[in-house]
């Protein structure tokens, strides 16, 4: 195997591992929501704000790291980010009240924003365009697998040892990967960047150009609608199973985590391969696969929330998650393909800001408030409509994708 291939594969493996910890540390709090609610005596609105506060800091920090990522060595920024969010997760385990827990979760958001902005470009630049959809689907496997492990570990550890122990246990492993990530070699085109020359992505014209990029805008809005729905469901479904179907924290999170990891892996890998396959036949292949997945996910998500039967609910959750995860590799690949390398970190920063500002930065608190006003089932039924909007935006974006890819290539 050529040296360049070995380095690219090592980079991919290491970044997948770090991204796995990213989502474990992010999701573990939702597994122990019922325990935190009971221990601290919180309303659903206040509980939901734990998720919203994390996402507000995540999205506000992303543009800053988008600018820094275009100027400095990105692997070292990512390593520092890993250390920050790992220590903050440990800090959440040491908290003794709502305010300290809230502060720790916001700091986790800052660290994860830096990594989320930097890492997709590093992965994409290490492999040729024909394989990007598949390679990024491997990288984003961390979303379902890490999320599932967050639910599993949080549920089991929280049920047995308390919610603080769950944070302490999942926060420590990230510190072991900080040094390998610090010394990671960047892709050649990234390493050749001249640090003292600000890339065009940092100029006003560069930022304005992103807003004029119709494929980028529609894809970002589709991801925002998807994030509103999936973020809200990810945070409240364990509580939904606890309240509506009588599953305790340990069993409910184990079942939900198992469903998420199987459906998520299958959907993410299928989406990457289907996206690459249809992209070779149509410039809008990635968007078409994502849009069709969203359309199939709408009725499945609605049935999961409405059925009174636990078995039907779990089957519907599996179907919904499988098809919703089809978009993971394709939509992130669209962001890569319609932006030039010099503004890619800025593009992901802007994408992160808007998908969370319009998505899961607000959905947990909104759904929590709606739950307080009615009930949790009625509140969650808002989410299928957001998924439908994501599908429509994907099909609209397909009209512009060819011209925007050619523009990014300088054609």
- The residue ranges of every structural domain in the chain are 3-178+201-408
Q: How far apart are CA 338 and CA 318, in angstroms?
A: 32
Identify the weakest region by mean pLDDT among 81-90, 137-146, 169-178.
137-146
Exposed, middle or buried, 303 (CB in 10 Å: 0-12/13-18/19+)?
middle
> Percent of the chain beyond pLDDT 70?
91
Q: Above 90 in pLDDT, residue 291?
A: yes
Q: Above 50 in pLDDT, residue 399?
A: yes
Across 41-49, average pLDDT: 81
Q: How confident is the model at residue 244 (pLDDT cuts 50, 70, 90)?
A: confident
Give pTM, 2 decimals.
0.71
Across 114-127, average pLDDT: 79
Q: Which residues contact 302 (CB under 8 A, 6 or more apart)?
A: 381, 384
Q: Specify the pLDDT at position 206.
A: 60
CA torsion sign, 131 to 337 to 114 to 44?
Answer: negative
**pLDDT tens digit sequence for 317-367:** 999 999 998 988 889 888 888 888 777 777 877 888 888 888 877 887 788
Q: Specify the pLDDT at position 316.
A: 95
Across 203-225, average pLDDT: 82
Into which CATH architecture does domain 3-178+201-408 fall? Answer: Up-down Bundle (1.20)
> Percent of the chain beyond pLDDT 90?
22
Across 375-382, average pLDDT: 91
Q: Specify the pLDDT at position 188.
A: 59
Average pLDDT along the chain: 83
Q: Specify the pLDDT at position 4.
A: 61
Q: Specify the pLDDT at position 11.
A: 85
Q: Specify the pLDDT at position 194.
A: 36
Q: How confident is the model at residue 277 (pLDDT cuts 50, 70, 90)?
A: confident
Q: Specify the pLDDT at position 204.
A: 55
Q: Above 70 in pLDDT, residue 200?
A: no
Q: How far apart are CA 250 and CA 32, in angstroms?
A: 9
């Amino acid at each position: 195997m050529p040296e360049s291939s070995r380095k690219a594969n090592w980079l991919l493996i290491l970044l997948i591992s770090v991204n796995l910890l990213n989502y474990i540390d992010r999701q573990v709090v939702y597994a122990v929501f019922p325990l935190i609610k009971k221990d601290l005596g919180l309303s659903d609105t206040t509980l939901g704000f734990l998720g919203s506060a994390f996402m507000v800091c995540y999205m506000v920090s992303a543009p800053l790291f988008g600018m820094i990522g275009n100027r400095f060595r990105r692997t070292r920024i990512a390593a520092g980010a890993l250390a920050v969010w790992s220590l903050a997760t440990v800090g959440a385990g040491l908290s003794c009240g709502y305010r300290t827990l809230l502060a720790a979760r916001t700091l986790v958001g800052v660290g994860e924003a830096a990594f989320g902005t930097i890492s997709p470009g590093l992965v994409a630049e290490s492999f040729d365009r024909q394989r990007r959809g598949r390679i990024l689907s491997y990288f984003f496997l961390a979303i379902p697998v890490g999320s599932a492990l967050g639910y599993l570990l949080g549920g089991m550890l929280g049920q047995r040892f308390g919610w603080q122990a769950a944070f302490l246990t999942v926060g420590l492993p990230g510190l072991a990967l900080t040094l390998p990530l610090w010394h990671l070699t960047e892709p050649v085109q990234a390493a050749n960047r001249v640090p003292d020359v600000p890339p065009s992505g940092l100029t006003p014209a560069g930022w304005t150009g992103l807003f004029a990029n119709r494929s980028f805008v529609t894809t970002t809005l589709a991801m925002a609608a998807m994030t509103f729905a999936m973020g809200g469901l990810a945070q409240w479904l364990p509580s939904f199973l606890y309240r509506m179907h009588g599953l305790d924290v340990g069993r409910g999170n184990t079942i939900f985590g198992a469903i998420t990891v199987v459906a998520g892996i299958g959907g993410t890998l299928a989406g990457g391969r289907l996206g690459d396959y249809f992209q070779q036949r149509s410039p809008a292949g990635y968007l078409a696969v994502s849009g069709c997945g969203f359309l199939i996910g709408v009725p499945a998500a609605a049935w999961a929330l409405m059925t009174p039967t636990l078995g039907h609910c779990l089957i519907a959750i599996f179907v919904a998650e499988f098809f919703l995860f089809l978009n993971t590799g394709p939509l992130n690949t669209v962001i890569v393909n319609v932006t030039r390398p010099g503004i890619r970190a800025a593009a992901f920063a802007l994408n992160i800001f808007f998908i969370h500002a319009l998505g899961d930065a607000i959905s947990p608190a909104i759904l929590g408030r709606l739950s307080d006003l009615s009930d949790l089932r009625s509140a969650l039924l808002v989410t299928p409509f957001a998924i439908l909007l994501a599908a429509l935006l994907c099909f609209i974006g397909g009209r512009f994708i060819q011209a925007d890819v050619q523009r990014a290539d300088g054609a």
